[in-house]
Structure 1
Amino acid sequence: MSETGIESVRSVRRSPPDWLLTGVRVVLVALVAKPAVSKFLTYGNSVAFFDAIGMPFPGLMVVIAGFIEVGAVVLLLVGVKVRLAALSLIPVMLVAMLHVGPDWKNLGVLFGAVLLTAFSPSLSSFWQSSG
């Protein structure tokens, strides 16, 4: 095998392909967008839920979690600051699992966010090729 072929095999092992990272971004957007927006559209219900699960300062926490989630969704959708967006979702999911318990959605978001944090280039988007 030529030296170029060996380098290409090594680079594939080092990072997942772009299509996989794009797919993870799309899945995260699909999982986070509705709960993020609903925190604002049904603010009173969200505050009541946060209060019922024992979240301190439920009114403030709904707003903070909502802004973090909406911001992350926008960044993931546009493909700018993907690592920052993914990193911001990790503590939100950890708090959700601590107060509500793990389920397939928050575990999926947590796993996807960790994957994007570890493997995303600093700037990527649907419209840019990483070459």
Structure 2
Amino acid sequence: DERGRELLDLADAPRPDPDSPAPVRFLPAFDNAILGYHDRSRIIDDAHRGLSVAGARVVLVDGRVAATWSVEAGTVTVTPLRRLPRADRTAVAEEGRALASFLSDRDSDRVRVAASTG
């Protein structure tokens, strides 16, 4: 890597097209994706790095932390950390509905995407 460390990989493993967008993902508090690495800059901006150790639940958009989320009374509330383009807001809302349904044993699919804070 750029620091001279040896990285081990599977030479013949399939690789996605580098231009393929990563799907929206809702991560729980203290998820290894943002806690398990010294260099978290590939997934979270320095301005929001504290969220990873504060127990925030985060939303990944195209593989990067773009929002936080919470759930109360069957409604998933998403708070963007930056302005999300319409297509991203739609994808976040769709994944949020699936999460609300899962968390409520299919009793609710309510999601609210708040105004961005960034």
TM-score range, shorter chain: 0.3 to 0.5
Q: Which has the higher contact order (CA 8 A, sep 6+)?
A: 1
More strand by share: 2
More helix by share: 1
Q: Tell me the TM-score normalized by structure 1.
A: 0.32
Q: Tell me the TM-score normalized by structure 2.
A: 0.34
| Rg (Cα) greater in structure | 1
